[in-house]
Amino acid sequence: MHSGFEALPSPLTEQLGTRSRLEWLQRLPEVQGMARDMLFRARDAEPYLLHAEDHGLTLVLQCLDAAAPEGERQWGFQGFTLDASAWKGPWFDKEGPRQARAETLIEQLAESPEEVMHQHPMLCFAVRGQGGQGGQTWSVVATFDYGTRYLQTFTLTRVGDWRTAAPVPEAPPSDAHAAPREPDPRDGPAPVCRSGTRTPKTGVWEGRLPALHAQARMFAQAPHRFVFKQAGEPMGTLGLPPQDEAQVVWMWLRGR
C-alpha cells in the first residue's frame, strides 16, 4: 500500500476491496447506531451507498451473493468518499482536507505524475493499494471547488478482483458492545436523551424501551442498543416505527 494512505483510518484502507460478512463495519465508529438493515442490504446485487453525513463519510458496499442463506452472505467494500467540509478524521497532513489542492494530492499520493488526469475541477489517478507488489490497484478521484480550487470530495475505489478481508481484531474491554458498568451513585443522575436529539455528553449510550413495552425484552438483548457518541452529535435510533421510537430513552453509561 502507498505509504501516504497510512494516514487514513486503518479499517477503511485495510478492508477496501475485500469481501466479508462486514464484521469490521460494525466496529466502525462513524456508523455506530445505524439500523442493521441499513448496513446489511441484500435486496439485489447492485452497489449501495451508506451515508454517515455527520462524519463526512460515504461507503460503497455490495451484497455479492444475495440469494445465499442469510448467515452465509458476503458483502464487498467497493470504496469510500470523504467530504472535505465535514470529515474530522485523520488526513495526509496537519492542514486538513479543507486546505488541500490538486497539486498537494499529486505530490503526496501520485506515483507517476505523467499518469495523472487533472482537468479542474476533477483529479484522477491510480495508486498501488493494499497488498504491495501484486496487490490491488486503487483509483483516486478528487473534486475541487471551481472558484477556490480547494478540495470538496476525496474518493478511493478498488480496481480488480476482490481480496479476502483482513482479520478483525478482538474488541477491547471498553468496546461499546461490552457489558456496561454499574453506575456509581456518586456520579449523580445519568444523562439521558431521545432518539434524534443532540447528545449532551460524550461516551457510550444505551437505548432503552419502557419496561412494559411489548418489545422491551427483545431490544434489551440487541447489540445495537449501545452506541458511542460525541457531545452534540445527533443520537441514533433503535430502528423502530416512529410511535415506538418516540418512547426510547438513551442513557449515558461511561465515557469510553
Q: If you search the block for the grid coordinates 463495519, which residue do you land on?
A: 25
Residue scoring higher pLDDT (246 or 78): 78
- Look over the chain and give the mean of its residue pLDDT values, rounded to a whole number: 83
User: What is the arithmetic mean of pLDDT over 194-215?
Assistant: 85
| pLDDT recorded at residue 173 | 41
pLDDT for residue 10:
86
Percent of the chain past pLDDT 90, that is, above it, reads: 34
Cα separation, 211 vs 220, whole angstroms: 10
pTM recorded for the entire structure:
0.66
For residue 149, name the pLDDT band (cuts at 50, 70, 90): very high
The answer to whether 29 and 74 are in contact (CB under 8 A) is: no
Distance in angstroms (rounded) separating the CA atoms of residues 33 and 134: 37
Q: Is residue 96 over pLDDT 70? A: yes
Q: Which tens digit of pLDDT belongs to each residue from 23-37? A: 899 888 888 878 888
pLDDT of residue 187: 47
Query: Given this model, what pLDDT does residue 46 score?
Result: 86
Q: How confident is the model at residue 56 (pLDDT cuts 50, 70, 90)?
A: very high
- Residue 93 neighbours by CB distance under 10 Å: 12
Position 130 scores a pLDDT of 65
Question: What's the chain look like in SS3?
Answer: CCHHHHHCCHHHHHHCCEEECCCCHHHCHHHCCCCHHHHCCCCCCCCEEEEEHHHCEEEEEEECCCCCCHHHCCEEEEEEEEECCCCCCCCCCCCCHHHCCHHHHHHHHCCCHHHCEEECCEEEEEEECCCCCCCCEEEEEEEECCCCCCEEEEEEEEECCCEECCCCCCCCCCCCCCCCCCCCHHHCCCCEEECCCECCCCEEEEEECCCCCCCHHHHCCCHHHEEEECCCCECCCCCCCHHHHCCCEEEEEECC
pLDDT at residue 216, rounded to an integer: 79
Mean pLDDT of 111-140: 83
Q: Which pLDDT value is given to residue 190?
A: 67
- Give 46: exposed, middle or buried? Use CB within 10 Å, 0-12, 13-18, 19+: exposed
Q: Grid coordinates representing 108?
A: 503526496
**Structure confidence by residue, pLDDT tens digits, 173-187:** 444 344 444 444 444
Q: What is the pLDDT of residue 60?
A: 94
Residue 106 has pLDDT above 70, yes or no: yes
